[in-house]
Chains A and B, each alone.
Chain A
């Protein structure tokens, strides 16, 4: 528990003591417990799990009008004792989805389909990000718009298929943990 949450809790227990009637106390306690669960849910809101595989924050970028492709990014954690492989993915608004790898070699951007999927080692992680492995959403039926949530699936060789939701960030947005901007770097309206 964070210090902030602890402080909040002790403040609320002081508040709690100010209520005298037993019904009042029960009502407040019920409300507090309810709120606690809401908090936990919010913190976990953008994680998905299947078997030993946990998927953190699947996201994509808004696409310009008429764009036919988009990229899909996420972090996969494998808590299990055996390796697994991300072998396929889908996005509701894409005709099809492939797994690609992007690299920049002496100023040349290179893109290649990844054969055999992306390995997620036992007790390890695999990251799909704009400048490396990523999902390539092709034949987009409509542009991806910032703020939208788009349904999709991820299929693992062992864990099976899991439903996920891709959050659409700004054009040019970077992964939250990288140092490119402050994490919410909007592609079009950054102020700094």
Chain B
């Protein structure tokens, strides 16, 4: 590994750390229904598992929860999708008042079709999004999502990526996050507030 690469990783890590610290600090004393003005977020317009392009512009002010992952992810992605499925079940009809999005950080292997198959194990309202590597890079940048390939044996790779679920209000502004460490009642309460804010 070259020094330049180490330096780049170190800088990326510091930026990610600082970003998380800001979000964490702001979340600690604010509810999930107020925009945090972190600058995190932005319009999303990508090929979707619905067979069409999906655009946040078409949500008509509906809040959304978005997270980034990939289907060759053994733990955090299926767990998050499973958690969200259970949360949506708890929310009942309220869950229709928000949109859950799963954006791949591995667009070379995850196509809308393969993601559709994968997502069939979860709540059917969850929409999967892929795109060109450039499209994904642009969306990830807007959401301050870090991702990188990690080589494994036999020329294969896995991905490191930000695993936070971003809660975005009807104006597309970040109002809070969900994390894996939270218990279900906490997640459901946050999603409920988000759904009711729309």
Nearest 9 CB-CB pairs, A to B? A172-B82, A64-B121, A71-B74, A66-B117, A187-B82, A109-B163, A106-B20, A107-B164, A110-B160
- On whether the beta carbons of A70 and B74 are closer than 8 Å, the reply is yes
Q: With A65-B118, A109-B163 in contact, do A98 and B150 touch (Cβ < 8 Å)?
A: no
A68 to B73, CA, bound (A): 9
- On whether the beta carbons of A111 and B159 are closer than 8 Å, the reply is yes
A113 to B20, CA, bound (A): 26
Q: Mark B64-96, 1 if CB is under 8 A from A, else 0.
A: 000000011111101101110110000000000
Does A119 interact with chain B (Cβ within 8 Å)? no
Which of A39-47, A78-86, A129-137, A157-165 participates in binding chain B?
Answer: A129-137
Residue A113 contacts which of B21, B72, B153 (CB distance < 8 angstroms)?
B153
Interface size class of B (residues with CB under 8 A): 35 or more
A-B pairs with beta carbons under 8 Å apart, 13 shown: A64-B78, A64-B118, A66-B114, A66-B117, A66-B118, A102-B74, A109-B73, A109-B76, A111-B159, A131-B180, A171-B78, A187-B86, A190-B86
- On whether the beta carbons of B82 and A188 are closer than 8 Å, the reply is yes
Q: Mark A135-148, 1 if CB is under 8 A from B, else 0.
A: 01110000000000
Q: With A64-B71, A71-B75, A111-B160 in contact, do A188 and B85 touch (Cβ < 8 Å)?
A: yes
Residue A69 contacts which of B17, B74, B164, B177 (CB distance < 8 angstroms)?
B74
Chain A interfacial positions (CB closer than 8 Å to B): 61-71, 96, 98, 100, 102, 104, 106-113, 130-131, 134, 136-138, 170-172, 180, 187-188, 190, 192
Smallest Cβ-Cβ distance to B183: which chain A residue: A180
Does B179 interact with chain A (Cβ within 8 Å)? yes
A136 to B156, CA, bound (A): 13
Does B55 interact with chain A (Cβ within 8 Å)? no
Contacts of B184 in A (CB 8 A): 190, 192
